[in-house]
Structure formats: structure tokens, C-alpha cells
């Protein structure tokens, strides 16, 4: 006889962690595949959304962290609004990303560079500065990637789409707020 999965002994902590207060909904996934069929990036994912939700419910943290699926999510919210169980799927992907960032397990160099560069600029200036963000992103993801902007870069510049602003150093505009948040989340 094939092995039988004993559902009562499964590790539910992952589901609890990534769907705060709503993990019972997460467990109600019926594996219908509506999420995968609705996802504009599913074709490029190594693990389909439907499979990933199963893995969440089975507590397979390592397998999920190892997959690139979450880094291909564009936050279109299509799976979330269509899930017949009403599971907040897109929000849950964001929690998985947070978990991966915290553990330093980001399986996409470009994504890690994107989030870190953006967060730095946001914290330091309080508002986006596209030029500095782009420089930081390109330098920390793939310096050769700058070549991809050889044509578009100058056009953006000439159209006034990006402006030159000198970087500032020292204390950041939202340092205190970021520090306070870290403190409240027990990360400091």
C-alpha cells in the first residue's frame, strides 16, 4: 500500500506564518488551479502557483525558498481575486518574499538588488529618486546590464524623464521610522 499522508501531523507553521490570521483559509485550498491558469507569469515559473500553495500547506519551506516562483510574481492580483476559496494569495506571496529576504535566500540576484536599492532610496530621501535608484540597481544586479539602457537611457534623459540630482550622504529622511519599525518587529 502506498504511503498515506497523515494530515493531522503536518507542519502548519509555514501556512500560519505567511497568512497571518487567515491560515485556515489557506488550508482550504482545493487545488483547482484557477491561480495558475490566471497567472500571466506562470509559463516562466519553475513551480506553478497551485503547486506552491500545496507546498505551503505541507510546510515545505526549503523547496519554496529554492523556487523562483515568488520572484516572477508581478503583483497583478489576478489569482487573489479569482481564487474560489478567497485566499489572499498575492499578499501571501509578498510574505514569502519577506521571509526569503530576511533569511538571505533570494533566488534572484536582480530581484534582491531591486528591493534593496529601492528600499535604500525610499529610506534615505523619503521619496523615489529614479536616477540614483537605477544606478544602484544596475551596479548591484549586473553592471553589464547598463548596456541594455544605452539606447533608452539618453532618450529618457532628453525627454526630462530622469533628472540629475547629486546623492546626499549622512542621516536619512526616514531613518527613525525604519528603525522604529524594525524595533517593533523585533528585528533589532
Partner 1 sequence: MKYTFYPGCSQEGTALEYLHSTLAVLEALGVELEELEDWTCCGASVAAVMSDLLGAVMPARNLALAEQIADGRDLLTVCSACYTNFCRTVEAAADPKRLQTINQALEVEGLTYHGTIRPRHLMDVLANDIELEAIKEKVQRPLEGLTVAPYYGCQTVRPFSPFDDDQRPTSMIALLEALGATVHRHAREASCCGTSLVMTKQKVGLSMAGAVLEAALPADCIAVVCPMCHVNLDSYQDKVSGALGKPVRIPVLFLPQLMGLAFGLPEEKLGLRRLVTPARPVLEKIHNAHHATRDT
Task: Catalog residues that contact ligand SF4 under the rule CB under 6 A.
Answer: 29-35, 38-41, 49-50, 53, 73-79, 83-85, 87, 89-90, 93
| C-beta separation of 95 from 18 below 8 A | yes
3-state secondary structure at position 87: coil
Output b/e per residue, 97-118; b: 16+ Cβ within 10 A: bebbeeeeebeeeebbbbbbbe
C-alpha to C-alpha distance for 153 and 18, rounded to whole angstroms: 39
CB of 97 to partner 1, least distance (A): 5
Interacting residue ranges for partner 1, rule: CB under 8 A:
20, 40-41, 44, 71-72, 74-78, 80-81, 90, 94-95, 97-98, 101, 108, 110-111, 113-115, 118-119, 122, 126-130, 137, 141, 148, 151-152, 155-156, 159-163, 173-174, 176-182, 184-185, 187
Cβ–Cβ contacts within 10 Å for residue 66, how many?
Answer: 14
Q: Using CB distances below 5 to 8 A depending on partner kind, what does residue 119 bind out of ligand SF4, partner 1, none?
A: partner 1
Pick between residue 77 and residue 120 the one whose CB is nearest to ligand SF4: 77
Pick between residue 7 and residue 130 the one whose CB is nearest to partner 1: 130
Q: Using CB distances below 5 to 8 A depending on partner kind, what does residue 110 bind out of partner 1, ligand SF4, none?
A: partner 1
Q: Using CB distances below 5 to 8 A depending on partner kind, what does residue 55 bind out of partner 1, ligand SF4, none?
A: none
Grid cell, residue 155, equals: 532618450
Q: Using CB distances below 5 to 8 A depending on partner kind, what does residue 95 bind out of partner 1, ligand SF4, none?
A: partner 1
DSSP 19: S
Grid cell, residue 75, equals: 503583483
Pick between residue 1 and residue 164 the one whose CB is nearest to partner 1: 164
CB of 30 to partner 1, least distance (A): 20
| C-beta separation of 167 from 136 below 8 A | no
**How many whole angstroms from its chain centre is CA 105?**
12
The number of residues making up the chain comes to: 188
CB of 104 to partner 1, least distance (A): 13
Amino acid at each position: 500500500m502506498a504511503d498515506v499522508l497523515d494530515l493531522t501531523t503536518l507542519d502548519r507553521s509555514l501556512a500560519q506564518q505567511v497568512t497571518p490570521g487567515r491560515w485556515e483559509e489557506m488550508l482550504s485550498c482545493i487545488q483547482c488551479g484557477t491561480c495558475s491558469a490566471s497567472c500571466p507569469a506562470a509559463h516562466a515559473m519553475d513551480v506553478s502557483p497551485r503547486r506552491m500553495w500545496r507546498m505551503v500547506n505541507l510546510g515545505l519551506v526549503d523547496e519554496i525558498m529554492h523556487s523562483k516562483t515568488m520572484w516572477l510574481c508581478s503583483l497583478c492580483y489576478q489569482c487573489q481575486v479569482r481564487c474560489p476559496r478567497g485566499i489572499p494569495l498575492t499578499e501571501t506571496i509578498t510574505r514569502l518574499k519577506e521571509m526569503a529576504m530576511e533569511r538571505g535566500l533570494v533566488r534572484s540576484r536582480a530581484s534582491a538588488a531591486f528591493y534593496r536599492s529601492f528600499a535604500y532610496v525610499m529610506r534615505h530621501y523619503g521619496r523615489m529618486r529614479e536616477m540614483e535608484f537605477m544606478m544602484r540597481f544596475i551596479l548591484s544586479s549586473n553592471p553589464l546590464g547598463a548596456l541594455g539602457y544605452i539606447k533608452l537611457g539618453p532618450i529618457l534623459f532628453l525627454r526630462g524623464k530622469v533628472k540629475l540630482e547629486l546623492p546626499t550622504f549622512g542621516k536619512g529622511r526616514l531613518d527613525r521610522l525604519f528603525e522604529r519599525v524594525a524595533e517593533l518587529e523585533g528585528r533589532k
